[in-house]
Amino acid sequence: MRLIKTSIAGFDQFCNGGLPPGVIILYGVPGSGSEVFAQQVYFNRISMGTNVTYFSTMKSRDLIKSDMAVYGLEVSTLKEANCWRFIDGSKSKSVINLIQTEMKGGRWVAIDSFSDILLSHDLESAVQLLNTMSSKARKNKGLYFALLTKGMHDPKVETAMLHFADGVIDFIVTEEVHASERKIIIKKMRGTLISARSLSFSIEEKGIVIETAVRIT
């Protein structure tokens, strides 16, 4: 299987070359780095000819653009070229249909956040959406992201989401005395063998920065 490069230095090496096609849940508490990860990977993929659609169910597109610009991820010209598309799903009752339409067009999709889908739809609809995303991702050889807020839902609901996704990347924040320590653990990834070790990272002016191999535990 051909792996997909994220172009995040250190992360692809950790994953033996990249991530396999599929729908991947980015699982973490607010501020853990899952949003930055999704935005950075998709921004990097634009230069490789990928067309992406970023669904937001909470923030306005202007606020997301402003947040991304902090890390040097300027998408204004990309938006004009239609290779990056924002869709505000918070104002639509048919957000699932919108997501499916974008996927049919061959675009990669990120849903920020899937937790809002769970709050506004029943579990069966959410599972069907994950299964559809998985099927389209494999067909299009794409990487689709669903951001899930840790601890926001009933444990059984969260477990169901993690079960039906092709992959799960856990973003962990540990509060220390003088600073927070951030780690990534790949809990699950169908189609490839990836170490269960944790990967230390920081969020800096250029986004996600993987720390040296010494910090891989």
Ramachandran sector of residue 153 (left: φ over 0; alpha: ψ -120 to 50; beta: rest): beta
Identify which of 36-45, 78-87, 119-128 has the greatest average pLDDT. Answer: 36-45
Structural domain includes residue 5: no
CATH number of the domain that residue 192 is part of = 3.40.50.300
More confident residue, 177 or 180: 180
* Residue 91 lies inside a defined structural domain of this protein: yes
Residue 78: predicted pLDDT:
74
For residue range 9-24, list pLDDT tens digits in order. Answer: 899 999 989 999 999 9
Residue 212 pLDDT: 66
Please give the tally of structural domains in the chain.
1
From 29, 26, 9, select the one nearest 18 (Cα to Cα): 9
pLDDT in tens, 83-141: 999 988 765 557 888 898 999 989 999 999 899 889 888 999 999 999 999 999 999 89
In a domain? residue 131: yes
Q: Are 33 and 172 in contact (CB under 8 A)?
A: no
Q: What type of residue sits at position 208?
A: I
Is 205 part of a structural domain of the chain? yes
Query: Are 38 and 26 a contacting pair, CB within 8 Å?
Result: yes
In a domain, 92, yes or no: yes
Rounded Cα gap, residues 52 and 106, in angstroms: 9
Calpha distance 197→188 (Å, rounded): 12
Q: Nearest Cα to 19, choosing from 34, 4, 7?
A: 4
85: containing domain: 11-215
d(CA 205, CA 133): 32
Structure confidence at residue 215 as a pLDDT band (50, 70, 90): very low
Q: Roughly what angle, to the nearest 10 degrees, separates helices 123-140 and 155-164?
A: 20
Which token pair is 212?
A: 């040296």
Decide if 87 contacts 53 (C-beta within 8 A).
yes
Residues 6+ apart with CB under 8 A from 212: none
Q: Is the pLDDT of residue 214 over 50?
A: no
In a domain, 3, yes or no: no
Domain presence at residue 58? yes
pLDDT band at 80 (very low <50, low <70, confident <90, very high): low
Give the tokens for residue 15. 């994953």
3-state secondary structure of 204: strand
- Nearest-CA neighbor of 87 among 148, 34, 79? 79
CB atoms within 10 A of CB 7: 15
Residue 6, domain member (yes or no): no
Q: How far is the CA of 179 from the CAs of 32, 175, 185, in angstroms? A: 13, 7, 20
Per the CB < 8 A criterion, the answer to whether 201 and 37 are in contact is: no
Q: Which pLDDT tens digit goes with each residue over 141-173? A: 999 999 999 999 999 999 999 999 999 999 999
pTM metric for this prediction = 0.92
